[in-house]
Amino acid sequence: MKKIFITPLALAVLFSACNPPKEEAKTDMPPGLDMAMMNKEVSPKEDFYQFANGGWLETTEIPEDEGRWGGFGELRDKNDKIMLDIMDKAAQNPEFKEGSDERKAISFFSVGMDSVLAEKVGVVALDKWMNDINGVANTDELQALIAKMHLNGYGPFFGVSSFANLMDSKVNALYVGAGGLGLPNRDYYTKDDAKSKEIREKYVEHVAKMLTVAKVDGDQEAMANDVMDIENRLALASLTPIESRNIPALYNPMTVEGLQDIASNIEWNTYFKTVGVDMSKVDTLIVTQPKFVKEVNELIVDTDLAAIQAYLKWNVVNRAANFLNNEMVQTNFDFYGKVIRGTDKMQPREERVLSTTNGVIGEAIGKVYVAETFPPEAKASAEEMVANLMKAFDQRIKDLPWMSDSSKVQALKKLNSLTVKIGYPDKWRDYSSLNVESSGESYSYLSNMENAWRWEFAENIKEVGEPVDKARWGMNPQTVNAYFNPLNNEIVFPAAILQPPFYNYTADAAVNYGGMGAVIGHEISHGFDDQGSRFDWEGNMVNWWTEGDRERFTERTDKLVAQFDAYEALDSVNVQGRLTLGENIGDLGGLNAAYDALQIYLAENGNPGLIDGFTPEQRLFISWATIWRTKYRDETLRTQVLTDPHSPGMFRAIGPLTNMETFYEAFDLKEGDELWRPEEERVKIW
């Protein structure tokens, strides 16, 4: 699941050696495991992933328009169908008057779906930006244009935003951060393996082709090489994906004068005024990557202006591509879809436009979604599960053998101060000032997107120096995901994830605890992973650890890094244990807590015994593995390993299990079994 910092989580025939209880369960039981999705011929001691998911793996094909497919994809696909039906009904609903948030969402979706309009507009919508870029004659005009582009949602060179101050989470601070790359991250520019070199070559070809399709004047191949040269400089000055996980290193407070000293070629006061920052509320700002800002400062004066103009044109074309005519959309997909993700076919237009609409005006649709899909019983049952997870985590902290009493006091204070949000926000977002056009001479999908980008930027930047609104959600109710926000010390579970296969309030408790229970535990554990543990109970980046406790914690996390480093996703492409550490800590802590919470539930509600031949404990572990069943295209898998802080699903399914004594007991694993890990190598953190 997702952890939001400054911005944004998966399981056999029981062999006789597993020692099941003697009593069989009742025949009239709630929904549980889907036995057809398992492989009864495989021992859970040898290949638990295949044991839990073999039937699914055998019968499932990755859809042509997907790079990977699993429980999340299946639920998102189901949810998209629900959402499209909701949008269709809403469009016919007279209660949603013109100007209402719901009607704006309907209009935005309708314009996005109008392919005839997109073809009519073509790439003419880019002309105003090309003219502005061609008109730049000096550094002052360049700076003014960069500010204008940022204000309108384009992102050359760097970015600015407002969010909670890491050291004072009650107040929003002004941040200056790195940006402006067309490839997924720094590693794509710096790795020397053959595949990385091939991707860079294809990227340059792609840039040239896109500039051609966009009818950008000039030598497109030369311009593409200029783009690559500039982006390569920016990449080399950027933190690596692993380095960027070091949150304290991102906290570099300074005055505007201090920023001016390290980047003197940009008139920062003028820039901030242009983008709408109220500088009377800014004593200090935070630069996340000073080295990067210094490189931008040098680049804009020592690089040929024509090359910078090519880079700016590419930034506009790349950002706008998916909202233009079919040739632009298809050409864009040919690289980012086929080369980067390995997908053969684009998603249907309605799914793409729905996703964008959710991103732009999602809570307006979320109101309708919740009313139609999220019964009060589901929320009440989830709240009971959260309460048991909190009890389990509380006891696990108290029982830690490696943590001192003084640190435990602070950890428990943080745990017991945790805010839990389930389903949907108490206060919906107000979109009254968002302009959505569905008629007139100049409206288009792109113009509505630019309106949305401009509105979102203005809404964000006006919060500089203002109190943080801790009631706001970082995800829409219809989002199939969950998150932990360390600055609010909160865990959030949108309504959409509270559905099968993660959760069914009428289902077997063991299956629910192995699914949604472990997801809840995962998000709680994020508060105590290598990043979240740097924040105190109020959400401030304040050290609450003793030096010895932090050292013992690091010893354990280093062992987890080594375990995941050893997993090979593709030939010579191993999981990055350091990049995925936070999520792996979340999985290990979350599943341990879910196991204990299930025991609390069973003690209070009774043990149903065997269902489908499995004990509650076995059903919990199988359920966990089913959540993370995933099939990948090689390109998507490679991209995930290089860019994603989440380990691939097959390793999330089994990684935590091999460290848990309760798993060994449930399936009677012994030394010599394939999944056996010597006790001294098992990682025990939370």
541-546: Cβ within 8 A, 24+ apart: 541/166, 541/167, 541/247, 541/248, 541/251, 542/167, 544/407, 544/410, 544/411, 544/414, 545/407, 545/410, 546/404, 546/406, 546/407
Alpha carbon 29 to its chain's center: 36
In our burial notation (b when 16+ CB lie closer than 10 A, e otherwise), range 419-430 reads ebbbbbbeeebe
Q: At what angle do helices 547-565 and 581-605 cross, to 10 degrees?
A: 100
Distance between CA atoms of 161 and 276, rounded to whole angstroms? 11
The structure's pTM equals 0.92
pLDDT digits (tens, 9 = 90+) for 461-516: 999 999 999 999 999 999 999 999 999 999 999 999 998 888 988 889 999 999 99
Residues of the chain below pLDDT 70? 1-30
In which element (H, E) is residue 165 found? strand 158-165
Torsional sign, CA 229, 182, 146, 165:
negative
Distance between CA atoms of 359 and 363, rounded to whole angstroms? 9
| pLDDT at residue 441, rounded to an integer | 81
Structure tokens at 651: 């390793």
| pLDDT at residue 378, rounded to an integer | 86
Q: Hey, which residues does 70 pair with through a beta bridge?
A: 630
How many other C-beta atoms lie within 10 A of the C-beta of residue 95? 8
Q: Residue 416: CA atoms inside 13 Å, Cβ hemisphere, count?
A: 11
Cβ atoms of 126 and 316 closer than 8 Å: yes
Q: Which residue has the tokens 């000073």?
A: 290
DSSP H helical segments within 303-375, as ranges?
305-320, 326-333, 349-373
Distance between CA atoms of 198 and 225, rounded to whole angstroms? 15
Q: Hey, which residues does 491 pair with through a beta bridge?
A: 420, 484
DSSP class of residue 33 equals: -
Distance between CA atoms of 571 and 360, rounded to whole angstroms? 39
Enumerate domains of the chain plus CATH numbers.
Answer: 34-63+374-426+482-681 (3.40.390.10), 139-304 (1.10.1380.10)
pLDDT digits (tens, 9 = 90+) for 266-325: 999 999 999 999 999 999 999 999 999 999 999 999 999 999 999 999 999 999 999 999
Distance between CA atoms of 401 and 111, rounded to whole angstroms? 60
Distance between CA atoms of 585 and 582, rounded to whole angstroms? 5
Reduced to 3 states, what is the DSSP secondary structure of residue 450?
helix
Q: Hey, which residues does 423 pair with through a beta bridge?
A: 494
pLDDT digits (tens, 9 = 90+) for 140-150: 999 999 999 99
Distance between CA atoms of 614 and 676, rounded to whole angstroms? 21
Cβ atoms of 153 and 456 closer than 8 Å: yes
* Average pLDDT score over the chain: 94
In our burial notation (b when 16+ CB lie closer than 10 A, e otherwise), range 219-242 reads ebeebbbbbbbbbbbbbebbbebe
Q: Which of 213, 215, 69, 196 is nearest to 648 (CA)?
A: 69
pLDDT digits (tens, 9 = 90+) for 115-124: 999 999 999 9
